[in-house]
Amino acid sequence: REFEGGIWIQRRIRYSKNGHKVVSHVDLTEFVKMERALKESEERYRLIAENSPDAILVHVEDQIVYANPAAIKMFRAHSETDLLGVSLVSITHPDDHKSVLSNRARMAEKSSEALPIIRVRMRRLDGTYVETAGSGAHHTWQGKPAVLVTRRDINAVIHAEKALRESEEKLRAIVENMPGSIVLKDLDLRIRLAAGRNYGQWSGIDPIEAIGKTATDIVSEDIAAELEECDREILESGEVVDMEINTETADGKTRTFLSTRFPVKDGAGTTIGVGIINQEVTDQRQTEAQLQQAQKMEVVGQLTGGIAHDFNNLLTVILGNAELLSEHIQGKPEAEHLLQNALRSAQRGADLTQRLLAFSRRQNLHPEPVDINARMAEMVPLLQHIMPATISLQTKIAEDIPFVQIDPTQLESAIMNLAINARDAISNDGEIELAACIVKSSKIPGLPRKDRKTDEYVLVTVTDTGSGMSKDVREHAFEPFFTTKPVGSGSGLGLSMVYGFVTQSGGHIAIESAPGQGTCVKLYLPISERGAVAEPEAQPEVTGIDGGRETILVVEDDPGFRSLVVGSLTKLGYRVVPACDGREALQAMADIEEVDVLLTDVVLPNGMLGPEIARELAKFHPHAQALLMSGYTRGANTGMGELDESYELIQKPFTRAQLGGRLRQIINLSKQTPPKTAQA
């Protein structure tokens, strides 16, 4: 073949019989062009196959006759030779044979169609399997019918799909189990997504059924209008809004929700709807209300305790002077009658201050292990006597209830008060139940973790079928002087005393009540770490007023009170040295040769309190005893901690007889006790 004049020609030379040279020329230009095009096409396909990231296999009658580099790599072969002659079916996972053979049969029926893309697990030469996806097509190999198969390694895709499914499942689990609900609204404020563990419970609608609905379809019209107005403002402003919603849910309960509402934007930053996260905060708000109530009660208690303390000072002066006055009016009946009226009123005032101290948790308690079962059983006959025939008294006491650490006398008083209140709340026929059981401290509503004295408490309940209380009455029930009874029928101090006694004892108190549904008062009492204790030996009662000639150092800042005490003790024959504060008391200790008893108020001005003076006493007079006076009790919160148990205490108000008796006891006891040593 030669190229002449722009064309390809084939020159043929032959000789005739007579020896002539015959030359012929054939134009091969088109043939050469076709031949070159075929070679270029084959080269292109070879380059494509050789550089394809997918494995390409050609098989004739299921025997591999060609494998590109990607196939060699996929099957972990050293070279193409390792794959040539291998049966394609033999390196297909047995579980995938059916789909492969099915596709081949289909291809045989319709020779013009390519095989559909299928997933097949292929076995590598090292025995491991690889997930692949691909298809096949009719082909011709060296003049024989063949099939060209492509396979792509989709292991990474499989792992990604699995990770995506797991991620979606985790997200779905979080959304469906979160203690609340999630809602997505479109621009028309129609629900496009509703999910969350409580959504159906709260709305009464299945999350799927909620799709396409508006707020009006789910909540009341007034709340729906408020929510939709808020959502429109969010769409306009793009701001996040937190709002609280109080509504009755599908289960009939009134709940409080914290609803966080925010704009939802697409990838381009365009707002496409409103997202909502609803969390129920009913318990939190109730706890906050209980805390506010407790704080209010604490403030009222401090104020009440302070007033009671000051009244105790005044009442002691009144009672003491009345006693002194009685000695001067003997034989005058009218004056004695007037004085007795004054004394009775003063004593009633003293009882009132004791109740106020009880409410303010400043009364004198004597806690000990108490058997609730035995104590309540003893009280039932007494309570039945004060109940009319129309009221049934029932008890429900669990077995094996441990002892509680409580003042038994105050416990009986508390139960009696609650039973009387329950009786008065029942207008006609009714029932009162006394019950006791054990509860975990974590199950006590409104009791903070820091205030839990024990892991378990004994719960004592007094329940009645009476008229019940409104929410407003419940909120004020423990406040002193608050009562719903007619004027003259109650002091309003019964529940406040129970409240003070229980909280001072390390317990907790709660009321459950509603109008027309009766009332249940719950006393949570701390369990005692000890068992029963022996009854203390009865102390001989002091009768009469025995005086003496001992020296008494009296320290009191109130002039009227100090004058009363000095006068009373002087009349009893004692030598009395008065002082108004710690500085004068220390000077008197240094100047006086002998002090037998220090009688001092607890709270004094000018920086030195009664217990501090008592500690200084041992430095000057080791044999002297100390008796502290206070309008508060030993365990009261006076800002200086609890009083030392080693010091005797007499609580105001007291009479001259009570003071004289205590002093005589202390003086007589001191003669049997070794002298005290000064303490640092």
pLDDT bucket at 533, cuts 50 / 70 / 90:
very low
Residues 448, 449, 452, 456, CA torsion sign? positive
Q: Which two tokens stand for residue 252?
A: 């009939």
Q: What mean pLDDT value characterizes the chain?
A: 80
Quick one: DSSP state of residue 95? G
Place of tokens 């972990």: 76
pLDDT digits (tens, 9 = 90+) for 179-201: 788 899 999 999 998 888 777 77
Rounded CA gap, 121 and 439, in Å?
61
User: What string of DSSP letters covers 501-531?
Assistant: HHHHTT-EEEEEE-TTS-EEEEEEEEBPSS-
Rounded CA gap, 75 and 155, in Å?
13
Higher pLDDT among residues 95 and 107, named by residue: 95
Determine the 3-state secondary structure of 594 from DSSP.
coil
Per-residue pLDDT, 229: 92
pLDDT digits (tens, 9 = 90+) for 364-406: 566 789 898 888 888 888 888 888 888 899 988 888 889 998 8
Domain 52-153 matches domain 551-670 at the CATH topology level: no
Of 253-262, 340-349, 487-496, the poorest mean pLDDT is in 487-496
Rounded CA gap, 293 and 288, in Å?
9
* CATH architecture for segment(s) 551-670: 3-Layer(aba) Sandwich (3.40)
Q: Which two tokens stand for residue 628?
A: 């502290």
Length of the chain, in residues: 680
Residues 6+ apart with CB under 8 A from 618: 624, 675, 676, 677, 678, 679
Question: Residues 603, 609, 612, 617: what is their CA dihedral angle, to the nearest 10 degrees?
Answer: -80
Per-residue pLDDT, 433: 92
Q: Which two tokens stand for residue 509?
A: 């108190």
52-153 folds as: Beta-Lactamase (3.30.450)
Higher pLDDT among residues 183 and 322, named by residue: 183
Angle at 399 between CA 395 and CA 401, to 5 degrees: 100
Residue type, 146: A
**Percent of the chain scored above 70 by pLDDT?**
79
Specify whether the CB–CB gap between 527 and 403 falls below 8 A: yes
Per-residue pLDDT, 177: 75
**Percent of the chain scored above 90 by pLDDT?**
20
Q: Which two tokens stand for residue 616?
A: 């200084």
Burial of 325 (0-12, 13-18, 19+ CB in 10 A): middle
Q: Which two tokens stand for residue 13?
A: 């030379």
CATH for the stretch 368-526: 3.30.565.10
Rounded CA gap, 305 and 637, in Å?
9
pLDDT digits (tens, 9 = 90+) for 140-164: 888 888 888 889 998 888 888 888 8
Specify whether the CB–CB gap between 465 and 514 falls below 8 A: no
> Where along the chain do its domains lie?
52-153, 166-280, 290-355, 368-526, 551-670
| HEC assignment per residue over 314-330 | HHHHHHHHHHHHHCCCC
Q: Is the pLDDT of residue 211 over 60?
A: yes
Place of tokens 């006693």: 323
Strand order in the sheet with 181-185: 191-195, 181-185, 271-280, 254-265, 241-248
HSE at residue 319, side-chain half, CA atoms within 13 A, is 22
166-280 folds as: Beta-Lactamase (3.30.450)
> Which pTM value belongs to this model?
0.42
Residue 451's nearest CA partner among 294, 300, 639 is 294
Q: Which two tokens stand for residue 187?
A: 């621009």
Q: Residue 261: what are its φ and ψ, rounded to 5°? A: -120, 135
Rounded CA gap, 628 and 345, in Å?
26
Burial of 613 (0-12, 13-18, 19+ CB in 10 A): buried
